[in-house]
A and B are shown apart, each in its own frame.
Chain A
Amino acid sequence: MDKSVSSNNSQPFVQHDVIAPSRPPSNLVGPVAWIREHLFGGVFNTSATILIVLFLAWVLPPFLDFVLFDAVWTGLDREACIFNEAHPIVGACWAFIKDRFSFFNYGTYPIPERWRVDLFFVLLAISIIWLLKLSLPRRDLGAIYSFIILPVISYFLLIGSPALGLPIVTTNLWGGLLVTVVVSAVGIVVSLPLGILLALGRRSTMPAAQVFCIAFIEFVRGVPLITVLFMASVMLPLFVPREFEPDKLLRALVGVALFASAYMAEVVRAGLQALPKGQYEGAMALGLSYGQMMRLIILPQALKVTIPNIVSNYIGLFKDTTLVVIVGLFDFLRTIETARIDPIWAAPTVSPTGYVYAAIFYFIFCFAMSSYARTIEQRLSKADKR
């Protein structure tokens, strides 16, 4: 209340000054109250808290001991990691990972040619950053680079071409991270356009296209990836003429790409269905042709809202690449499986170490992708809330 006004007031019992609000009781605000409410509210809550603390105390220290404190960091063979008098407690055998690191990355790719794989990884990293970082300039050029230029360069770089002075490296020598990255990259690059085509076909008014697309999508989504890979591996060679018999990697690539496209088609279809009909009608009223309507009006909007789903589809694809083992490829997980049973490194903690390493590797990639999807989702919802 304004002092100058209240001083003119002659009534003696009116309180002139505003009393500051008293602080809330200390058990309702502040850290203590927060802890009370969020950890110890009620019998059930309290017991859950205690149980979880006990569980973490039981699990975390041994895990940290294994991974960090008791771990063996240097060594050249199994001697470093077996139990003996010198070290009765042996944790993770990181020396094994260090020793086999290049095998996990390149498989049996010839050592003098491995710079080609490194160059491929660098080019791929450029393409990923260019596409995903929204603030970078000319991302349309980035798309052309990633979807057209990079695949061509990579093909000649990795397989080789005597005309360019790069010796041929047959795909049965490829392995490890290289195979995992190649299979997922091809799956990612092929499945988006193919999935869009299938989704458009499924929603088209032409019965022949519609029936074909529905049959393909439902068939592929109804069977496990393993059977699709089996089909690609044992049936594909039967279906093509003898002289075109595809090599193992190509068979797996065909299987993975077809499988991923069917899933991508459903993701894109959900995006198409989310668009209001007015967008289609508006585009048609402007006299745009079907191609123009899709390219300029429908797909940009439909794909935008469905980016988070596309990324989580890619996460699934990346995890699924581990199954290409079934057709005899040496992917990242398979190189670890091979290395961990190698007698040179036969020690009790080698297998768990290998799995922990694989887990960290896959977790970093998948978690990065899902975090990216979440960021995009937040951006989109912010745009909606405007």
Chain B
Amino acid sequence: MVDPRLSDAPGSQPAKVSPWRDPRWRSYAFQAVLMGVIGFLVYEAFSNASENLKRQKIASGFGFWDTNSGFPISFSIQHYSEATSTYGDAFWVGMVNTLLVAAIGIVLATFLGFIVGVARLSKNVLVAFVARWYVEILRNLPLLLQLLFWYNAVLKALPGVKDSIRLPMNSFLNTRGLTTPRPIPEDGLGWVGLTLLLGLVLTIAVRIWARRRQESTGQLAPVGWISFALLVIIPSLAFVVAGKPLGFDVPQAGRFNIVGGLVFQPEFLALLFGLVLYTAAYIAEVVRAGIMAVSHGQTEAAYALGLQPNITSKLIVIPQAMRVIIPPLTSQYLNLTKNSSLAVFVGYPDLANVFTGTVLNQTGQAIEVVGITMLVYLSISLSTSFVMNWYNRRVALIER
């Protein structure tokens, strides 16, 4: 006997299911309820907000963007003056400051992180021990504590201007920060920069050509030497030929003050120090995991094929490790950028400090100000993750 419900005979009807038990209808109903609840909450929030704003007499809209800000910012690369600049200008100053500390921090943290990560795998027990405890300690302390420590207990405790610590290369370290010689570009530096740019383009071209040739013929080209020549030797030659077009404004230690030079404020230094040391500990773990993810058989197979150890690591280990390393590395970069908002606590004028701090206090327009700030961080994060997804698709192993 065939169960009539299972038979395919023409004319047989699919079993009737009450809408209450039909997964399709259930899902529609659930989604309708969900959207209803969210819609209700959003509506309530907006109506409450407009009522509260009216009651507190807070303006809404973005009219404040072009009004004069009237507050000073202690550190800015571009022109900013408290008398003439607007809130919009303040926004751009904060944004550039955020990107500046994030960019320098990312470069330094990557260097330190790779060194510590490799050191953790070192055969030298002492090196591995120090690297391990560096990671353990820095990762297990809140970043805010580290920032406050660097700022209040180290940089603020440095000697005063009169007893500045002299560092090599005419630099001074004191309670007002680090003063280094300020590079001054002279005529002809543009040509050197152009040579460097040209060298960069040529290097990329040579690398692509070398890879294609290797894939088709198996011959290796001395890419490293060519890149070195294009990126270092030729620009240096151009620098000499152009008559060394770079001067330095060397700081001079007077009796009460240090004149000239480029001053890095303690706020900037503390934030940079804290972010770099903290993120480097995480990057070290990422690097270690990446290297350990390359199975031992890969190295052994390369040795069996007769590859030298340095070629093995260049052609076999590093490319495979990088595939594991890069995605979490990017998220560490994003973390560093987001963590740079802790600048609020040491007084470095980054976006969060200038905008959600001072501008919010002055205008009181919480929704607009917090909204803009979030939008900036969000667009940095989302654009990075789009690039990351594209890269991941490119390097992903093509499986059957």
Pairing of A with B: yes
B367 touches A238 (CB 8 A): yes
Interface residues of chain B, those whose CB is within 8 Å of chain A, are 27, 30-31, 34-35, 38, 44-45, 48-49, 52-53, 55, 122-127, 130, 136-137, 139-145, 148-149, 152-153, 157, 338-339, 341-342, 344-345, 352, 356, 360, 366-367, 370, 373-374, 377-378, 380-382
Smallest CB–CB gap between B217 and chain A, Å?
36
Inter-chain CA distance A333–B148, complex, in Å, is 10
Q: Which of A212, A315, A320 contacts B140 (CB 8 A)?
A: A315
B338 touches A359 (CB 8 A): no
Contacts of A337 in B (CB 8 A): 148
Cβ-closest chain B residue relative to A319:
B142
Q: Which of A237, A240, A348, A359 contacts B145 (CB 8 A)?
A: A359
Known contacts A224-B338, A326-B344, A367-B140, A205 near B27 by CB under 8 Å: yes
B123 touches A230 (CB 8 A): no
Interface string of A330-361 (1 = CB under 8 A from B): 00010001000000000010011001001100
Known contacts A219-B378, A238-B48, A358-B145, A39 near B140 by CB under 8 Å: no
B31 touches A209 (CB 8 A): yes
Contacts of A224 in B (CB 8 A): 338-339, 341, 352, 377
B338 touches A223 (CB 8 A): yes
Known contacts A222-B381, A238-B366, A319-B142, A37 near B149 by CB under 8 Å: no
Smallest CB–CB gap between B131 and chain A, Å?
10
Q: Offer 10 A-B interface pairs, CB within 8 angstroms, sorted by A.
A: A38-B125, A208-B35, A219-B378, A222-B380, A222-B382, A223-B377, A226-B341, A231-B374, A322-B144, A355-B152
Contacts of A218 in B (CB 8 A): 382
Cβ-closest chain A residue relative to B339:
A224
Judged by a CB distance under 8 angstroms, whether A283 is at the interface is no
Smallest CB–CB gap between B351 and chain A, Å?
10
Contacts A49-B126, A223-B338, A366-B140 known; 11 new A-B pairs at CB < 8 A: A38-B123, A48-B122, A218-B382, A224-B377, A227-B373, A239-B44, A240-B48, A322-B145, A355-B149, A362-B141, A363-B137
Smallest CB–CB gap between A355 and chain B, Å?
5
Could you tell me the dominant secondary structure of chain B's interface residues? helix
Known contacts A208-B31, A223-B377, A238-B52, A41 near B141 by CB under 8 Å: no
Interface string of A34-54 (1 = CB under 8 A from B): 000111010001001100110
A37 touches B123 (CB 8 A): yes
A323 touches B381 (CB 8 A): no
Judged by a CB distance under 8 angstroms, whether A383 is at the interface is no
Interface residues of chain A, those whose CB is within 8 Å of chain B, are 37-39, 41, 45, 48-49, 52-53, 55-56, 205-209, 212, 218-219, 221-227, 230-231, 234-235, 237-242, 315, 319-320, 322-323, 325-326, 333, 337, 348, 351-352, 355, 358-359, 362-363, 366-367, 370
Cβ-closest chain A residue relative to B143:
A319
Contacts of A56 in B (CB 8 A): 130
Nearest first, the 5 closest Cβ-Cβ pairs linking A and B are A222-B381, A366-B140, A208-B31, A234-B366, A239-B45
Smallest CB–CB gap between B358 and chain A, Å?
13
Contacts of A48 in B (CB 8 A): 122, 124, 126-127
Known contacts A223-B338, A315-B140, A363-B140, A231 near B370 by CB under 8 Å: yes
A208 touches B34 (CB 8 A): yes
Contacts of A41 in B (CB 8 A): 123-124
Smallest CB–CB gap between A251 and chain B, Å?
12
Inter-chain CA distance A212–B145, complex, in Å, is 35
A237 touches B52 (CB 8 A): yes
Contacts of A38 in B (CB 8 A): 123-125
Cβ-closest chain B residue relative to A38:
B125
Cβ-closest chain B residue relative to A337:
B148
A367 touches B125 (CB 8 A): no
A355 touches B367 (CB 8 A): no
Inter-chain CA distance A325–B344, complex, in Å, is 11
Inter-chain CA distance A67–B82, complex, in Å, is 46
Contacts of B142 in A (CB 8 A): 319-320, 322, 333, 362
Inter-chain CA distance A382–B142, complex, in Å, is 32
B34 touches A239 (CB 8 A): no
Inter-chain CA distance A56–B143, complex, in Å, is 24
B145 touches A45 (CB 8 A): no
Inter-chain CA distance A363–B373, complex, in Å, is 32
Smallest CB–CB gap between B274 and chain A, Å?
12
Contacts of A320 in B (CB 8 A): 142
Inter-chain CA distance A315–B282, complex, in Å, is 13
Contacts of A222 in B (CB 8 A): 377-378, 380-382
Known contacts A240-B48, A358-B145, A39 near B126 by CB under 8 Å: yes
Smallest CB–CB gap between B255 and chain A, Å?
26
Smallest CB–CB gap between B395 and chain A, Å?
19
Inter-chain CA distance A217–B338, complex, in Å, is 16
Contacts of A225 in B (CB 8 A): 338
Inter-chain CA distance A320–B125, complex, in Å, is 33
Q: Which of A224, A235, A352, A358 has the most CB of B within 10 A?
A: A224
Cβ-closest chain B residue relative to A352:
B153
B377 touches A52 (CB 8 A): no
A333 touches B145 (CB 8 A): yes
A230 touches B27 (CB 8 A): no
Smallest CB–CB gap between B219 and chain A, Å?
32
Contacts of B380 in A (CB 8 A): 222
A355 touches B34 (CB 8 A): no
Inter-chain CA distance A366–B366, complex, in Å, is 35
Q: Which of A209, A325, A326 contacts B34 (CB 8 A)?
A: A209
Known contacts A45-B124, A48-B124, A226-B342, A359 near B130 by CB under 8 Å: no
A319 touches B141 (CB 8 A): yes
Inter-chain CA distance A363–B127, complex, in Å, is 22
Cβ-closest chain A residue relative to B278:
A319
Smallest CB–CB gap between B44 and chain A, Å?
8
Inter-chain CA distance A227–B381, complex, in Å, is 14
Contacts of B374 in A (CB 8 A): 219, 223, 227, 231
Inter-chain CA distance A361–B149, complex, in Å, is 15
Inter-chain CA distance A242–B54, complex, in Å, is 12
Smallest CB–CB gap between A269 and chain B, Å?
15
Inter-chain CA distance A322–B367, complex, in Å, is 24
A206 touches B31 (CB 8 A): yes
B49 touches A52 (CB 8 A): no
Inter-chain CA distance A337–B346, complex, in Å, is 13
Smallest CB–CB gap between A376 and chain B, Å?
17
B49 touches A363 (CB 8 A): no
Contacts of A208 in B (CB 8 A): 31, 34-35
A226 touches B145 (CB 8 A): no
Known contacts A226-B344, A227-B377, A238-B48, A355 near B338 by CB under 8 Å: no
Inter-chain CA distance A37–B124, complex, in Å, is 8
Known contacts A38-B124, A370-B140, A227 near B48 by CB under 8 Å: no
Inter-chain CA distance A209–B37, complex, in Å, is 12
Contacts of B141 in A (CB 8 A): 319, 359, 362-363, 366
